[in-house]
Chain A
């Protein structure tokens, strides 16, 4: 799993600098709940997750909900201290790990715990990630009744040999059924796909897209496989047992994905995300990309409140020990300066279709924008309306554009 970024050590009680509360009422508030459990660990995964039931006294799965409630309490107190507390929660996201490895009643209970402390917006978006193997109609029904509005299903691929390389154990044949159950329960359906797995052919990828789009899907996230150092797959690539994904192959597959989604009526709104309409976008992720405030609960979770980024102890035991001792589980933080915040704003907004306004860019950026237009990286019609909207080619080179544009900041 990736190391946490370098940062300063936050105060033991987790209190925030007053600056974090400035302008809070103009920003939305979102909550993220990290569920650090999986049945098996996939070879490519570098997320903070554990397969053991019991990770030491106070850190077993049975203790998890109570510990989360402690962090909820800490968060409301901390936010109130800097005047950032009295806000409706716009979105909630359960990620992992595998949140659906917990009983549906536990997830529903966590929702109750949140409601007891936070005011939720009338149309709050509540998503959980789910492994297809873990879902049944009854499970989904319980989620729906608990206020969940959306399921993000970890499909990854429809091709057995690709799933085997990823060490995913679910049966791809179950995807249509599970998808139908989710829709029948009145929830939005998002499918997660991964392309560029070693051994995945172009045909394999087309097939995964066909299967995914064959369901009544509202939203698809498609990520190129990233071989992370420190994972089993990373080690295999290093030893030459698996080939490193080829950048041109990834670009081909991205273009194929975009064409297939467009043909199926989905359009991109972020580099790796497509939806049927503006209403079916993932508002929780949009909150990240718009630098809204969010609190991340659970081991290793990251938070952002008014220009302060902080992150929790990674191991469930270290996280729960701190909470049980009455302390904040945060172990590191960054208080961002104006320049850094502006760099982050551009870095995130440049990945979205209608977010970055050209007039907000630093003086001097005009020449770069003209070059991007000439190179076919930006949509000229959008630019005429003052919007930075990358073309298909531009999306694949978004980091390049961000590096150029952020040169002018500060």
Chain B
């Protein structure tokens, strides 16, 4: 390629830069397409290629999703002119919609990548609307056209209807074979506008990602809007005013290359030596300490946990390991919050706040996998605002902290949910949303057989088992997206589960009054099957305040003796006894009741206790 120096970092004129991202649903082939672009533009040599090059974490690769976004600079020649393309990857899940919005804000255009065998999904649609609101140029791309099940004509029609273009404008590619990928690169240069900014104004760069690296500290990914940044300058974060020396500045393509700086419209990374991503937050504006900008870039938000859960080590002696592990994860996860929690049933652990369910799952999985911890997590809870009769206000993120006394009103977080489903399942989806206290907001046909259904739902219902149920009722076809939609007052109550008269804090739940009874019956029934018989009869009760709404009884054990014990049995029996004593040590005491750890785990999991265990009782 000629004239590469014209597109070297810090010396590239904005007209030669194109910044774009890819909006796609999980499994629609974003990473594979990105891999192909890396190869075709020559930034990754074939011998260095590995599948899903940009997905850094094992979990990302295994689940086929991107948790953190990335930026890659790639050269591409169009009409004889070399251009610099910056591909900014976007996280692929609803929990990370704020991070998605910042990635979009760093671009002028986006590929709308849709699986030609499946059509668009709800989250893709939500992100598409976000991109449209940001005035991004949208390039529709149908992927996986090599699949036998691909229906590119059908889905080109659907995309054309959605973004208001002609079906012929949809590019058709195969990330797997590479077919059509060059046309995509050409189209980006032709259609996506070049970035515009004031090179002489005080520097302003937007942080769209921030990653902790063991060796280098925090690596901050930025898009430069105005001005320029150079190595060894002192930079300042506009949300906090904190300043740091710029130790290194560079671009990824896709391995990091230090540069002489970054100019208007460019995308790259900064290293300042800070050790915690909280000091370099997504959405914040970086400026120069010596010549600061007066106004921060719009759209910055503090990360806001929406879902809370208690995490407890199964082996109580792992508590310090869990604490250290959370401290480490926090370095790379600005949204993760936690504080120590003590449960009478589960011992010492942490109350953790997450952006959503997937975020919870990912954190839990990383803790178990990377730190070799076995954990129990309590049922996810949302944030409730409680107004007492005396007008005092309490925020509740843990059911066990629900206030006693006269309550005037409880408000719960609501979400706007968008569900895309084949029209055959409209009835099933509406029935589900109805049982989850949803209110229908509207419904539109995307094509003759695909429907977008909009509901307003309590977030608490979504975090329970909504997604699993949606998938099972629609044979996996429906997709869901939701976003914050304020608060509503609701008739909520706290249901306690009592074992032999003692409240088991881990099982308390805040539920709608209409669901209190079924929750109580479900939990009491589960526990009756899971808790072994004791020396005395153990009532299991579900209660709202002092009112009992459900009751089960574990009958007292009557026989705990081996009938035969002769000469040859003695060693066996003693060893059995020792084993039983070991088993007892792993029991947790709830009041005077011994509860095996497994009973807590099984009761807290949403699955039914398995039939085999049942049969033994």
Contacts and interface: CB of A to CB of B under 8 A. Distances in A.
Interface residues of B, number: 26
Interface stretch (A102-110, A202-210, A394-402): A394-402
Interface residues on A, range: 35 or more
B574 interface: yes
B439 interface: no
Given A272-B564, A397-B560, A375 B573 contact: no
Contacts of A398: 560-561
A222 B564 CA distance: 9
Interface in A259-291: 271-272, 285, 288-289
Given A309-B570, A347-B577, A400-B535, A271 B559 contact: no
A334 B557 CA distance: 33
A334 B571 contact: yes
A2 to B, nearest CB: 7
B563 interface: yes
Contacts of B573: 347
Contacts of A254: 559
B570 to A, nearest CB: 6
B568 A403 contact: no
B561 A5 contact: no
A395 B560 CA distance: 9
B577 A5 contact: no
A116 to B, nearest CB: 24
Given A250-B559, A396-B558, A399-B560, A288 B581 contact: no
B577 A223 contact: no
B566 interface: yes
A14 interface: no
Contacts of B187: none
A4 to B, nearest CB: 9
A223 B559 CA distance: 13
Contacts of B567: 32, 288, 294, 296, 301-304
Interface string B530-568: 000001100000000000000000010111111111111
Contacts of B535: 375, 397, 400
A301 B568 contact: yes
B578 to A, nearest CB: 8
B561 A396 contact: yes
A271 B580 CA distance: 20
Nearest to A333: B571
B50 interface: no
Contact of B558 (A247, A304, A347): A247
A288 B566 contact: yes
Contacts of B558: 247-248, 251, 393, 396-397
Interface of A: 2, 5, 7, 32, 222-224, 226, 244, 247-248, 250-251, 254, 271-272, 285, 288-289, 294, 296, 300-304, 309, 311, 334, 340, 343-344, 347-348, 351, 375, 393, 395-400, 402-403, 406-407
Ordered nearest first, which 5 A-B pairs have the shortest CB separation? A251-B558, A302-B568, A5-B571, A251-B559, A398-B561
11 contacts: A247-B559, A271-B563, A272-B564, A288-B567, A294-B567, A304-B570, A311-B568, A351-B561, A393-B558, A397-B559, A403-B581
Interface of B: 535-536, 555, 557-568, 570-575, 577, 580-581, 584, 616
